Each structure stands twice: as C-alpha cells, then as structure tokens.
Amino acid sequence: MKNFAEFFAGVGLVHEGLRSSGWNCVWANDISRDKQETYIENFGEADFWLGDIWDITKNPNIVPSDTFLYTASFPCTDLSVAGERAGLAGAESGTLNALIEILINKNITNSLPKVVMLENVRGFLTSHKGKDIEQTAQHFTDLGYYIDIIELDAIDFSAQSRPRVFMIAVEESLAKKTMKIKNGIQLFDDWWSYFERHPYLRSEKVKNIILKNETLNWALFDINLPEKTTIRLADIIEVDIPDNSTLWWNEDRRSHIFSQMSEGHKNYLKEMVERNSYSYGTVYRRTRKGKPMAELRTDGFAGCLRTPRGGSSKQIVIKAGKGQWKVRLLTPREYARLQGVRDSFKLPTNANKGYFAMGDAVCVPVIEYISKNILDHLYNEDNGSNNNIHSDNIKLRSVALYCR
C-alpha cells in the first residue's frame, strides 16, 4: 500500500495533497485539538493521534511500522526570519528533534520508512548559519538515507507568495535506483552541472550547504520545473459578499488605512477606483523607519499567509472600481483558496480558528506536484514492496541530538 504517516498534521493539507494521487494516510499526529477537529471533519478520526510528538519518542510503536513515507511540516516559529531564530534549539521548531529520535528508534527495530519529507520556511536553510539544516542532513545520513533539498514557491501554483524548503530523504537502495548520487568530494564532478541545471529549485544557499558538508549523502531528483499558474487574487475572491456585509470596514477604519498609505499607493488606488471594472489588491501593514505604513500590492498575488498571532498579520483586501473602493480582511475561505484547497473542504465555523487552520498549512498543489514528480515515482520504483529499511549496513553513529 502507498502508506504514509503525517507528523505535524495540522488540519491535514499534506494529506489533502497526497490523497489525490492515491496515497493512504495510516496515521497522523498533531498537538492541537482545534486542528484535530477540522482534520477529523474532513478525513475521519481513525488514524489521528492527538498529543505531543515528544510523547511518541517514549513509545515509537504508536507509529505504524509498515509505512513507506513520513511527512513532517514541523513548526516554523523558531526558523522564520521574522522570529527570534532559536532554530532547532527552540521549543517549537525543535520538535523536529523528536521526529529524529523516533526515526532512530525505528532504525533499531528495522522499521524505518523508505522516504521522509520535511517541509519548512526558507529560514531553515539559514538558521544558526546553516547549522540546523546541516545537522538534520547529518542525522539522515547517519540513518542511511540520501537527501535532496528543493525549494518551491506556492506562487507558481496559487495566487500566494509562499516560498518553502523541502528536504526529502530516501533509503539507500531506492535512492541509488532513482536519484543522481553525489560521490564524495570531486571538484569537477558532473553532479554539480546536473545540480545547476535547475537553479530555481535549488538555490546558492542549498549549494553552499552541500559544499560545506560534501561527505554527507547528497543526491538529486530529476524533475521538471512547475508550470506557472494563471490563478490570480481576483480568482479566489468570494465575490458574493454583499456590499452591505459587516465584513467590509466602516468609514473610520477605511480612512485610517488610506492615511497610512504612501502618496504613490494612494494615487494607484485612485486609478483603480476610476476603472470601469473591479480590481483587487492586498494591503500589508509594515513599520518603515518607525512609522506604521499600509502597503498596497496589486500584482495579483497575496503575500505569505501566516497564523494571526497579534491580529495585525491577517491579510487585508481592497476591492476598487466603478468610482468606489472597499476594504476588509480576506475570509478564511479565501485563505483556504490561496492554499489551493477545494471549496468542499470543511473549515472551522469560528473565523479565527479558520485563519489559524490555514495560516500555517501547506499549499495543496505544491504537495500534489511533489507527489506526482517525486513521491509516486519513488513508490513505483520500489515496486510497491514496501519493505522497510534493513539497518545491517547502516552504521548508526552516536547522534548528537538537541534534546529538550
């Protein structure tokens, strides 16, 4: 069976992206009861384990053994450039270390998954000057996996800019069948020319990480670049919100946000108002030189969705044209659409929970792309045998973990 286990499952958007190509979720975990509720609403409850991932390290048998793929879109809080950047030493992003501990235990019982996929923000490439991701690659190498790191931006798949890093670790024999393996340190290795064929998928940052750690198990997937989407902000807007809806801001709030715009942005908004048709833009609140500013974005894309801690990070949308303009927050359904989620996906009835559910989720078509271009191929090459990794040839060195 094309089985996967979903760590840090949230409301299940990795699940959503994988199931379209026939993947079967055998088990999922998250600590949030709210997210679990939404997950169960959409996928049923049989396979959801609610609780702290560190508790699983004490009993790794909780995770079913016959699992081909583990996915982990672990918390980005300590990795995002906006945060304090404690990195993997931080309480939240450091939960990745619990997953590593689970894998080490699975290795002892010969029940490692064949493939592990991590997802996080680009800050994962740079936190602790790259040491966090290097340490992670070291753990996977110690466990006998071969690793590729690719970068994808939701902007190629949806109307949202959301750059993300995917580290995909593949069991040795499967990697040797399906990936281009790097052979140690060779200056004029054709592996590098292969690497450089797709600078869009693997940036200089990834290159530098590999150059600094050439003896780790690096390998490359041969994949095509995503085709750029034609979906734009106007396509995800809930057009049936009536003009008298209380979602639209009152005059005080509307004038306030206008007052925070630069002259250039005010003039652009006036141009939008004068058009004979409606157009949309998003507004970001930023502090520039100590002054709060409202910045208008009109290229048809929303910025990266976030969980609304503090309130101000919710995304604002402007509708302008036919002599008028209105402003409101994007709705949770619009958030979901920006994440490429079908409209039949059930969202929490409480709007704030909806923003939380979608703000730190993954963009579904990005996962679909990875599935179709990488994971399905790995599974097919494995002939569906789904044998677990045998650790006979794996020299498990003592692994220096950041523990709690």
Ligand X SMILES: C[S@@+](CC[C@H](N)C(=O)[O-])C[C@H]1O[C@@H](n2cnc3c(N)ncnc32)[C@H](O)[C@@H]1O
Two tokens, residue 291: 């002054």
Could you identify the residue written with the tokens 């950047």? 85
Instruction: Give whichever of 13 and 294 is closer to ligand X, judged by the CB atom.
Output: 13
How far is 241 from 386, CA to CA, in rounded Å?
49
Q: Which residue in 78, 360, 368, 382 binds ligand X (CB under 6 A)?
A: 360
Most distant CA pair in the chain: distance in Å? 73
Instruction: Give whichever of 28 and 296 is closer to ligand X, judged by the CB atom.
Output: 28
Instruction: Give whichever of 29 and 135 is closer to ligand X, judged by the CB atom.
Output: 29
CB of 9 to ligand X, least distance (A): 6
Q: Using the rule CB under 6 A, is 353 a contact of ligand X?
A: no
Query: Which residues have C-beta within 8 Å of that of residue 86, sequence separation ≥ 6?
Result: 78, 93, 94
Q: Using the rule CB under 6 A, is 13 a contact of ligand X?
A: yes
Instruction: Give whichever of 92 and 189 is closer to ligand X, judged by the CB atom.
Output: 92
Q: Using the rule CB under 6 A, is 217 a contact of ligand X?
A: no
Q: Which residue in 18, 27, 28, 35 binds ligand X (CB under 6 A)?
A: 35
Give the 3-state secondary structure of residue 226: coil
CB of 345 to ligand X, least distance (A): 11
Restricted to residues 64-123, the positions that interact with ligand X (CB under 6 A) are 73, 75-76, 92, 95
> Among the candidate windows 28-36, 234-242, 279-287, 392-400, which touches ligand X by CB under 6 A?
28-36
> Among the candidate windows 26-34, 253-261, 340-348, 382-390, which touches ligand X by CB under 6 A?
26-34
Q: Which residue in 2, 4, 11, 142 binds ligand X (CB under 6 A)?
A: 11
How far is 399 from 402, CA to CA, in rounded Å?
10
Q: Using the rule CB under 6 A, is 14 a contact of ligand X?
A: yes
Instruction: Give whichever of 70 and 280 is closer to ligand X, judged by the CB atom.
Output: 70
Cβ contact 2:25 at 8 Å: no
Instruction: Give whichever of 99 and 143 is closer to ligand X, judged by the CB atom.
Output: 99
> Among the candidate windows 27-35, 156-164, 343-351, 390-398, which touches ligand X by CB under 6 A?
27-35
The amino acid occupying position 126 is T
Q: Using the rule CB under 6 A, is 28 a contact of ligand X?
A: no
Sign of the torsion formed by the C-alpha atoms of 358, 360, 363 and 369: negative
Find the DSSP H helices in 297-370: 332-338, 351-359, 364-370
137 to 6, 60, 343, 400: CA distances (angstroms): 20, 21, 37, 12
Q: Using the rule CB under 6 A, is 354 a contact of ligand X?
A: no
Give the 3-state secondary structure of residue 149: strand
How distant is the alpha carbon of residue 286 from its chain centre?
24
Q: Look at strands 180-181 and 163-171 and give their pairing.
A: unpaired
> Among the candidate windows 129-137, 204-212, 283-291, 358-366, which touches ligand X by CB under 6 A?
358-366
Q: Which helix (H) or strand (E) holds 121?
A: strand 115-121
How far is 271 from 359, CA to CA, in rounded Å?
31
How far is 180 from 220, CA to CA, in rounded Å?
5
Q: Using the rule CB under 6 A, is 152 a contact of ligand X?
A: no
Q: Which residue in 362, 366, 378, 389 binds ligand X (CB under 6 A)?
A: 362
> Among the candidate windows 12-20, 141-149, 293-301, 316-324, which touches ligand X by CB under 6 A?
12-20
Q: Using the rule CB under 6 A, is 386 a contact of ligand X?
A: no
Give the 3-state secondary structure of residue 160: strand
CB of 25 to ligand X, least distance (A): 12
Instruction: Give whichever of 307 and 391 is closer to ligand X, judged by the CB atom.
Output: 307
Q: How many residues bind ligand X (CB under 6 A)?
A: 22
Q: Using the rule CB under 6 A, is 296 a contact of ligand X?
A: no
Q: Residue 206: which of 137, 283, 149 has the closest Cα?
A: 149
Restricted to residues 42-61, the positions that interact with ligand X (CB under 6 A) are 52-53
Instruction: Give whichever of 55 and 299 is closer to ligand X, judged by the CB atom.
Output: 55
| Burial of residue 169, with CB atoms counted within 10 A of its CB: 0-12 exposed, 13-18 middle, 19 or more buried | buried
How far is 279 from 296, CA to CA, in rounded Å?
13
> Site residues (CB under 6 A) for ligand X?
8-14, 29-32, 35, 52-53, 73, 75-76, 92, 95, 360-362
